[in-house]
Amino acid sequence: KTILGILTLALISAVLSMPLHFLLPVFTEEILQVGAQELGFLWSALGLGAIFGSLGVASLGNRNRGMMMLVFTLGLGIALVAFSSSTWYTVSLFLMIPVGLGHAGRMALSNALTQAYTDDEHRGRVMSVYMMEFGVMSIATFGAAALAEIIGIQLAIGGMAALMVFVVIFYVAFVPRIRRLS
């Protein structure tokens, strides 16, 4: 049940947050109305946040990792909602830092917890399912792009992020097994 809970959260959060990586060029062109150089700066800000997120997870040790995974995922969702609402490039640039931080923290902690709580005999199979996150991300991008065509890119990204926030709140409230992982 523990592994299933971690894998489910990882998969849901990947489906709801990772399409931004593929849709960011459209967002920068249509909403922020900037070019390739500014897109590069957005990617750099995302990378800067990811570095901070990775270092943060590395400094945690083996305590409260379940709750920290939920906090990073919640922070990612909130940052994505804020980013999707922004029409100002400078604000969007600074919001990419917590987006990157949340992505890196969520991915590192879900990976670490999956490996820590899987027995040696099943670790390869479980990690294969975990890595499915990257394949599903591409499929989710198709859905997100189709949704963006219908309701607009801001609502698509923001709505998916808001749904992720609700999923994390559900986990915090009703899945204590994940919240209590160390």
Is the distance from CB of 80 to CB of 21 less than 8 angstroms?
no
DSSP character string of 117-157: TS-TTTHHHHHHHHHHHHHHHHHHHHHHHHHHHHH-HHHHH
Cα 86 to chain centroid distance, Å, stands at 18
What is the pLDDT averaged over residues 82-88? 96
Question: 68: pLDDT confidence band, cut at 50, 70 and 90?
Answer: very high
Question: 76: pLDDT confidence band, cut at 50, 70 and 90?
Answer: very high
Question: 60: pLDDT confidence band, cut at 50, 70 and 90?
Answer: confident
For residue 1, the model assigns a pLDDT of 85
pLDDT in tens, 34-59: 999 999 999 999 999 999 999 999 99
Q: DSSP secondary-structure letter at 60?
A: H
pTM higher than 0.85 for the full model?
Answer: yes
For residue 138, the model assigns a pLDDT of 83
For residue 119, the model assigns a pLDDT of 85
Phi–psi pair at 120, nearest 5 degrees: -55, -40
